[in-house]
Structure 1
Amino acid sequence: MPISVNEKTQELEGNIRNSLVDGTAAEGRLETNDRIIARVTDGIYREPWSAFRELVSNAYDADATSVSIDCDYPFFNEVRISDDGIGMDSQTVADLLTNIGGSSKRTFRGKSLGTVNTSDPTESPSGRKLIGKIGIGLFAVAQLTNHFQIITKRKGNSERISATVKINTYRENAHTDEADETYASGTYKVVAEKTSDIDAHGTTIVLMNIQRAVREKLQSREIWDALDEQENEETFGLFDIVSKPNFHIGRVGANGELSIPSSLPWTATDSPKEKFQKLFDRTIELGRNSSDRTDLSHLDNYLKMVWRLSLGSPIKYLETHPFEFTGLTNFDFFELSNKPKGGASRIDLTGDQSIRTAMGLEAGTKDPLSEFTVFIDGVELFRPVKLSEVLQGSKNLPRPMFFAGKVETNFGDASADRSGGKLAFEAYLYWNSKIIPKESIGALIRVNGASGTLFDPDFLGYQIAEQTRKKQVTCEIFVLEGLDGALNIDRESYNTSHAHYLYIQKWLHNAFRQFATQHKKIGREVREIEIERISTDVTSKLTDIAGEVWERMRGDDIGLPTIETRPLNHGDSLPVKVGGNEISWDQPRIKERRIGRPDRIEAISIILDAYGILELLDDERRADLLFDIATIFEDDA
């Protein structure tokens, strides 16, 4: 019979007292109080999209190739999440319900349950790198409801299993009279039934009685109510605090009826991919044409949830993986150095050669099943990250910039206890003069293809004063191995003192510095070329004016006077002979001053010579006259 918590406590207390007599230390294993699990099952995620993300990740780990979510919008009374993964048999379901927080993933126990690869417990049966590891992903539903059903079947089995689960709501101030103070996280009822469809497989999770707060959040109740308050505001001259979403799923009134019809970016006849494409295109278009709403405020909460779920899921990009850009792309490509004081080097891709091929990058090519799609209410999700070849906003550089790098380290053979083990990742930094939407500004870390975080606009705490450039960069870091240990239990934040996190943070800051250095360098080159172009244009114009005066005064049968120049006066190339007239600049008052526009001096010399004025003066007086005239224009030189 198992020893109760109270008995274990009494036993340890006795051992501690005995140490007073014999000096023997009391030893044992730390025990976790059931309150911890109670709090976990009460919901640990911040937003509804996070809960959906965890359920999608579970399906991915179960070797699903497709996941379908039906939210029953705009009412959200019941939500269904179905996948075509390997499903569960009776043994796996039993293990799931009796081992909350004791996932079989990444364990040898998972081999006997069929939840992990037989040769590597860190991979799914098909060989996918597992996203989950703790065993609480299923209880992400506690963020949405405390009542759900699991319907599952494994291929080759003749039984389908249905488990109905109710999760108890944890109350911090609740008291119990039980001696061991144990807490039941919830209850379940499981039924197996025979089925003739032996080849069927997969899992469906039905979320019933969605919490009122969640329903109202997804219905954007606070936005609609705020709009009502603003409309009734009698004080004039105030700016609106809230703007009506351009796209929304409609408004549900207090009576549960749809009081405002939906305004969606797609039509009912569009294909699932076309719907997402239009959601993306309209969001970018509205952000580009708006001076103050360049974020996702054009969307209601439900559509924001769709966007963020697509951002965090291990799915394909809407157009192309960033590492598939080629030499035909209108980018300047650079390879990032891993050296602390290294610099980025330019990469010249040839024709259709991709940055992936040139640098041997792997991210985005490792799924052994080659397909994982997610649908939500008839919309197929794609990663909403598109790196435009066209400069947005300011055109201060010729084209967007793309920096790529990769790292693989074992921390100098340091022990896994100290280093966290091997770390391998690949990354890119993309610059454009304007990033739309603002949610794509910053750095996003993907572990095994998935992310629980959004883009971090501070680039993991980069402290250098680069506020303008920070707003012009999209960065994704693809972790191929490691960093799992730094993920906190909600997968939405990191242990910032973990060796892997610190390494990535330091690498990213070094990468950003390399980008900034190249950005400044190219900016200087562009400005110098522009200054030279402007100078050439002005010089050409001055020459034309001087030529017209010369032709009017001397006729078109006499050519312009030859001008001999020499570097004088702090490097300025000034005329020392115009036609046959010598000009002497060797005078203290002239030698101490720099003349800003030598081309203007040449034009003035030709005009004065056309009028015959230079012939009336000696060498030094010619220099005095030219210098004095040039000084008049000094402020606009």
Structure 2
Amino acid sequence: MTESESTVNGRSNSDASRGAESFDGEILVGSRIIDDLSSGLYNSPASCLKELVNNSYDADATVVEVLIKPDAEFIAIEDNGCGMSKAEFSTHFSRISESHKREGSSFTPSGRPKIGKIGIGFIAANELCDRMEIHSTKEGSRERLVVTIDFEVMRTKSPAERKEGAENYKKGDYSGVVTFDADPGEHYTKIYLKDVRESAREIMAGAEPPREDMAYKSFYGLKPETIADNLAHLKSWSELDEYSKTMLGVALNVPVAYPGGWLGEDPPNEVLDLADHVTQLRFSVNYDGTPLYKPIVLRSDARKSKMITRPVVYEGKNVSLRGYFHATHGMLRPEDLNGVLIRIRNAAVGEYIRDFLGYPSSTGQLFQRWVSAEIYVDDRLEDALNIDRRTLRETHDAYVELREWLHDELSAFIKQVRRELYSEPSKKRSVERGRAAATALAEVASLAENRISVTARNEVVEATLLGDLSPGRHKSPRTFSVAEVFEMAIKVAADTLPRPLAEAYIAEFSRRMKG
């Protein structure tokens, strides 16, 4: 990094009366590969925002305020984390591919496993805006840091023009000032995204207060419990406006808590323990004033469908994990939860993977669409994590073992789903239909008790299979089409009645069938 500071008598350029000193420099990336990736690394505004929110988590913040509305021309991400000094800023931004985030420890002072590793997360802002402003101070310090980063250089100059030295590429310019008027009891980092790019602004601000006549639903301004109730009834997130989808995308990735009642009544204790572990991280995010919770609601309020939740734990040679498999009779709602979501250090790797890491689509195809899985994997899988944090290297030993375990576990779970949610309920419904039909036919027979003999009535009852509904013998009475009923009536009349009576019977039967 090149950094310039004007000096007077060996001191940084400062105004003693104001107690301030200015500085400037360049943000560099370590190679052309990193530069290319960091210029097109994220597939949505939610992916960019979650990187900035996860930085707050790594700074041991307990509360993050994300402010988007009213028009997303100015976006704020403010936290109460440990803050950053000028020296730390210079260290972290000297060369982006050389992260210092885990120097000394891969855990924060409060014991959280740090999510960031490479150090490229802050540059997510360049995909949202042209300028980023950072305000920060640390507890016990009088230093207040204000830095403005200008990304214009990466948009107006070619890679050749931005190359500095053998490997470095210029990512942006920055200028800053340090004042010495901070309250030593304060600690925070406030990031302001300015000159937000039009494409990002349209997505992030695409919301209005909910109206009944809206084509898309919006979660803007709703309470968390209302959002959870809505999620339980949605068929797909595609029913929501872009603002709400961005909100959910952030909430899915970052280490916020699960909503109350997210897994229905009496979920397994092992899954409750998993959710409680996340709660104990004490990390909350408010999105335009709305507290964020994981957008995972699997209670199926709308249909009252039967559900199965199966806790899973695995200790392997190259990878270990814990989590759960969940299935609801019929396709999941919302369908965005179908697949497997992988978390490393409490942050999601992209979104739900619909094909379960390449599980054969022909195996239990129907039941795959009923399944949602979420697994927390140990740090050994982190080495397989690509720089985009959305995908994994498929040749890595940890990934290969994870995939093999997942496919075996999914096969076993699909068998359980087929048995408990499909076959057994199907048999039960068949028995119930048989009993209903038998009862109806018995009632028909009783209506004619004064017109037919007891023997004839017993024949009708016997035909209904009433009393023959034990396990394994639950076949319903056969269902006949109208044509089959007419055919049978004609044959019975012809076989049992004199011709004149048979003709009279068939004529009357036909009249009554017509209503």
TM-score by length of 2: 0.73
Distance 1:164 1:540, change over 3 A: closer
Is 1:164–2:144 an aligned residue pair?
no
Q: Hey, what does 1:14 align to over in structure 2?
A: none
Which secondary structure does the structure 2 equivalent of 1:483 belong to? helix
Give the superposition deviation at 1:207: 1.3
Give the superposition deviation at 1:295: 2.2
8 Å CA contact 2:274, 2:323 repeated in 1: yes
Give the superposition deviation at 1:391: 6.9
Q: Hey, what does 1:59 align to over in structure 2?
A: 56
Give the superposition deviation at 1:360: 8.4
Distance 1:552 1:379, change over 3 A: same
Give the superposition deviation at 1:370: 4.2
Q: Hey, what does 2:429 align to over in structure 1?
A: 530
Letter in 1 for 2:315: E
Q: Deviations over 1:311-366 (max 9, x none)?
A: 111101222464xx6xx53xxxxxxxxxxxxxxxxxxxxxxxx522xx58753344
Query: Percent identical across equivalent pairs?
Result: 26
Is 1:208–2:194 an aligned residue pair?
yes
Give the superposition deviation at 1:450: 1.5
Aligned residues: 431
The one of 125, 148, 152 equivalent to 2:136 is: 152
8 Å CA contact 2:252, 2:295 repeated in 1: yes
Q: Hey, what does 1:407 align to over in structure 2?
A: 314
- Which segment is superposed worse, 79-88 or 536-545? 536-545
C-alpha distance in 1 between matches for 2:162 and 2:281: 52
Is 1:509–2:429 an aligned residue pair?
no
The one of 32, 35, 38 equivalent to 1:38 is: 35
Distance 1:278 1:482, change over 3 A: same
Distance 1:387 1:98, change over 3 A: same
Q: Which has the larger radius of gyration?
A: 1
Which secondary structure does the structure 2 equivalent of 1:475 belong to? strand
Q: Hey, what does 2:171 align to over in structure 1?
A: 185
Distance 1:216 1:177, change over 3 A: closer
Give the superposition deviation at 1:63: 0.7
C-alpha distance in 2 between matches for 1:176 and 1:163: 21
Distance 1:368 1:282, change over 3 A: closer
- Which segment is superposed worse, 534-543 or 87-96? 534-543
8 Å CA contact 1:321, 1:364 repeated in 2: no
Q: How does 1:192-341 map to 2 (within 5 A)?
A: 192-219=178-205, 245-247=215-217, 264-265=218-219, 274-282=222-230, 284-285=232-233, 287=234, 294-320=235-261, 322=263, 329=266
C-alpha distance in 2 between matches for 1:368 and 1:94: 34
Which secondary structure does the structure 1 equivalent of 2:428 belong to? helix
Distance 1:529 1:281, change over 3 A: closer
C-alpha distance in 2 between matches for 1:184 and 1:444: 35
C-alpha distance in 2 between matches for 1:44 and 1:515: 35
C-alpha distance in 1 between matches for 2:328 and 2:390: 26
Q: Hey, what does 2:102 align to over in structure 1?
A: 106
Distance 1:461 1:543, change over 3 A: same
Letter in 2 for 1:403: R
Letter in 2 for 1:67: V
The one of 418, 424, 433 equivalent to 2:321 is: 424
Which secondary structure does the structure 2 equivalent of 1:363 belong to? helix
Letter in 2 for 1:218: M
Q: Hey, what does 1:231 align to over in structure 2?
A: none
Which secondary structure does the structure 2 equivalent of 1:401 belong to? strand
Distance 1:126 1:554, change over 3 A: closer
C-alpha distance in 2 between matches for 1:485 and 1:547: 75
Q: Deviations over 1:54-103 (max 9, x none)?
A: 011111111100001112432x2221111001112233222112131222
C-alpha distance in 1 between matches for 2:278 and 2:330: 34
8 Å CA contact 1:124, 1:130 repeated in 2: yes
Distance 1:122 1:427, change over 3 A: farther
Q: Hey, what does 2:359 align to over in structure 1?
A: 462
Letter in 2 for 1:383: K
Q: Hey, what does 1:355 align to over in structure 2?
A: 268
Give the superposition deviation at 1:369: 5.8
- Which segment is superposed worse, 191-200 or 518-527? 518-527
Which secondary structure does the structure 1 equivalent of 2:154 belong to? coil
Q: Hey, what does 2:296 align to over in structure 1?
A: 385
Letter in 2 for 1:512: L
Give the superposition deviation at 1:436: 2.0
8 Å CA contact 2:431, 2:476 repeated in 1: no
Letter in 2 for 1:187: D
C-alpha distance in 2 between matches for 1:179 and 1:480: 38
Letter in 2 for 1:406: V
Q: Deviations over 1:409-461 (max 9, x none)?
A: 2x1xxxxxxx4xx5333232232323222212222112222214122222221
Letter in 1 for 2:223: K
C-alpha distance in 2 between matches for 1:186 and 1:107: 25
Q: Hey, what does 1:89 align to over in structure 2?
A: 85
TM-score by length of 1: 0.60
Which secondary structure does the structure 2 equivalent of 1:433 belong to? coil
C-alpha distance in 2 between matches for 1:486 and 1:67: 29
8 Å CA contact 2:228, 2:295 repeated in 1: yes
C-alpha distance in 1 between matches for 2:326 and 2:154: 44
Q: Hey, what does 2:331 align to over in structure 1?
A: 434
C-alpha distance in 2 between matches for 1:367 and 1:45: 25
Letter in 1 for 2:368: K
Which secondary structure does the structure 1 equivalent of 2:355 belong to? coil
C-alpha distance in 1 between matches for 2:298 and 2:458: 56
Distance 1:55 1:107, change over 3 A: same
8 Å CA contact 1:128, 1:367 repeated in 2: no
Letter in 1 for 2:251: S
8 Å CA contact 2:137, 2:182 repeated in 1: no
Is 1:446–2:343 an aligned residue pair?
yes
Q: Hey, what does 2:113 align to over in structure 1?
A: 129
Distance 1:284 1:363, change over 3 A: closer
Distance 1:433 1:178, change over 3 A: closer
Say which structure, 1 or 2, has more relative contact order (CA 8 Å, 6+ apart).
2
C-alpha distance in 2 between matches for 1:70 and 1:498: 39
Distance 1:404 1:193, change over 3 A: same
8 Å CA contact 2:74, 2:192 repeated in 1: yes
C-alpha distance in 1 between matches for 2:335 and 2:75: 30
C-alpha distance in 1 between matches for 2:246 and 2:340: 20
Q: Deviations over 1:558-584 (max 9, x none)?
A: 99999xx9xxxxxxx9xxxxxxxxxxx
Q: Hey, what does 1:376 align to over in structure 2?
A: 287
Q: Deviations over 1:4-62 (max 9, x none)?
A: xxxxxxxxxxxxxxxxxxxxxxxxxxxx9643343344342111111100011111111
Q: Hey, what does 2:123 align to over in structure 1?
A: 139
Give the superposition deviation at 1:155: 0.8
